[in-house]
């Protein structure tokens, strides 16, 4: 039977601009590369990843009543995502993310939250009537909604998975105590702990600090091309990344943490889950866009065979 994952997070439309380089202040650049509107948002990216990997996915988010919302709903339904808890705000537009993607694949993102800011504790409480096997949250929605999801998960003894982005220094991390996994990237780690994870020693210090504050069972640092740093409260392991041609890093972190959580809820092995997530993220960065870059379970398994050999 499929595990049911409740994703409590954000839904956006992404305005993706391919550029040779980001302009300096006051500079105007004429670009010959393309731009496009692509469904995105950290929560939506993660929900799509869960669905494509095979989870029974329920998405709790807030959109506006506009064309972007209709396009997003159509996509989620076509992917088999349960959107009965995707509600509308009549006064606020659907969230928008402006994404600049440079020639080397690096991205810079500006998010206009829009209706995402209207997601509230009541919305989250309603979503828990789906009786999930796991709850997945990110910080791109109001603190009250994130904290409510954590509290309801704890009260109902449901594993909580936290993708700790976008991070703020003043976010009350202690309100997320008891999470199964918390996973920030390098920038988020520095913001949340004051420690830059640029060495093994600093990675360990940051993990210990996060684990102390949140009482999380596992801390997994996303380190980009350096792979990931996995800490289980006693020991650490480093999972290296896979070398692939990088087209676009947008959504890679969302895909990694969703794949990590998906694999973990299946078997409970954090190290194997990180290896699986690394495969999924490698496929993601080798493609352009957000929702368009998210792999299926079949694609991850096929890629794994190219890494480990046909008998793996």
Nearest Cα residue to 104 out of 280, 287, 248: 248
Cα 218 to the center of its chain, rounded Å: 16
Q: How many alpha carbons lie under 13 Å from residue 272 in its C-beta half-sphere? A: 8
Residue 21 tokens, joined? 């380089």
| 254 assigned to active site | yes
Compute the distance between CA of residue 247 and CA of residue 103 in angstroms, rounded to an integer: 8
Are 149 and 135 spatial neighbours (Cβ–Cβ below 8 Å)?
Answer: yes
306 forms beta bridges with none
Cα 188 to the center of its chain, rounded Å: 12
Nearest Cα residue to 121 out of 137, 110, 97, 108: 137
Q: Active-site residue among 163, 201, 254, 269?
A: 254
Q: Is 274 helix (H, G, I), strand (E, B) or coil?
A: helix
Residue 82 tokens, joined? 């349960």
Handedness of CA 80, 86, 89, 94 (dihedral sign): negative
Residue 186 tokens, joined? 């390098």
Nearest Cα residue to 284 out of 306, 264, 254: 254
Cβ neighbours, 10 Å, residue 236: 16
Strands 4-8 and 218-222: unpaired
DSSP state at residue 82: B
Residues with catalytic roles: 254
């Amino acid at each position: 039977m499929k595990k049911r994952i409740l994703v409590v997070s954000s839904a956006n439309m992404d305005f993706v601009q391919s550029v040779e380089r980001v302009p300096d202040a006051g500079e105007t650049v004429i670009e010959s590369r393309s731009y496009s509107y692509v469904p995105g948002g950290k929560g939506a990216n993660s929900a799509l990843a869960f669905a494509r990997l095979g989870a029974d996915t329920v998405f709790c988010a807030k959109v506006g009543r506009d064309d972007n919302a209709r396009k997003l709903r159509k996509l989620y339904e076509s992917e088999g995502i349960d959107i009965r808890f995707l509600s509308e705000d009549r006064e606020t537009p659907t969230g928008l993310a402006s994404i600049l993607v440079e020639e080397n694949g690096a991205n810079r993102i500006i998010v206009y939250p829009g209706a995402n800011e209207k997601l509230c504790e009541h919305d989250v409480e309603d979503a828990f009537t789906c009786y999930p096997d796991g709850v997945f949250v990110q910080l791109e929605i109001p603190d009250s909604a994130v904290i409510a999801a954590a509290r309801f998960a704890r009260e109902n003894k449901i594993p909580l998975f936290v993708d700790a982005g976008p991070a703020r220094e003043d976010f009350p991390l202690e309100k997320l105590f008891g999470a199964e996994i918390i996973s920030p990237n390098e920038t988020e780690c520095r913001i949340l702990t004051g420690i830059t994870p640029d060495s093994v020693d600093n990675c360990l210090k940051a993990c210990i600090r996060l684990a102390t504050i949140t009482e999380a069972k596992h801390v997994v640092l996303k380190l980009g091309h350096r792979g990931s740093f996995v800490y289980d409260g006693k020991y650490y392991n480093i999972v290296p990344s896979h070398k692939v041609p990088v087209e676009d890093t947008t959504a890679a972190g969302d895909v990694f943490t969703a794949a990590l959580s998906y694999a973990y809820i299946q078997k409970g092995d954090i190290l194997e889950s990180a290896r699986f997530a690394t495969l999924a993220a490698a496929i993601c960065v080798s493609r352009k866009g957000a929702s368009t870059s998210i792999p299926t379970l079949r694609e991850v398994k096929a890629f794994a065979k190219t890494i480990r050999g046909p008998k793996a």
